[in-house]
């Protein structure tokens, strides 16, 4: 399943590189930093729900579930 997010398409199995955060995401940014999502980190999209609202990601051998609204706050580029 392909999910369109702010001109970005995310697919299950895709590698993603974090390049930064949107400036207005201060509270969410702090929570993401605590999880280990920092600039320059790669993570893998493991699963996407049918509606595209929840994403399971794998980061440093741990799996997390993120909502689409939270993932929208991350500036990233696809590594395919």
CATH code: domain of residue 9: 2.30.30.90
pLDDT of residue 53: 87
Contacts of 41 (CB under 8 A, 6+ apart): 17, 18, 59, 60
Q: How many domains does the chain have?
A: 1
Q: Give residue 28's pLDDT band: very low, low, confident or very high (50, 70, 90).
A: confident
pLDDT of residue 7: 46
How many angstroms separate the CA atoms of 33 and 48, rounded?
A: 22
Chain-centroid distance of CA 59 in Å reads 10
Residue 54 domain boundaries: 2-78
pLDDT of residue 56: 94
Q: Mean pLDDT, to the nearest integer, of 42-49?
A: 93
Long-range contacts at 59-65 (CB < 8 A, ≥ 24 apart): 59/35, 60/36, 62/36, 64/35
């Amino acid at each position: 399943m392909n999910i369109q997010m702010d001109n970005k398409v995310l697919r299950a199995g895709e590698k993603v590189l974090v390049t930064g955060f949107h400036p207005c995401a201060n509270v969410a940014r702090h929570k993401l930093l605590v999880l280990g999502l920092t600039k320059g980190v790669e993570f893998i999209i493991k699963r996407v729900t049918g509606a595209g609202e929840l994403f399971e990601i794998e980061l440093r051998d741990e799996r997390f579930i993120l909502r689409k609204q939270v993932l929208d706050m991350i500036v990233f580029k696809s590594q395919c």
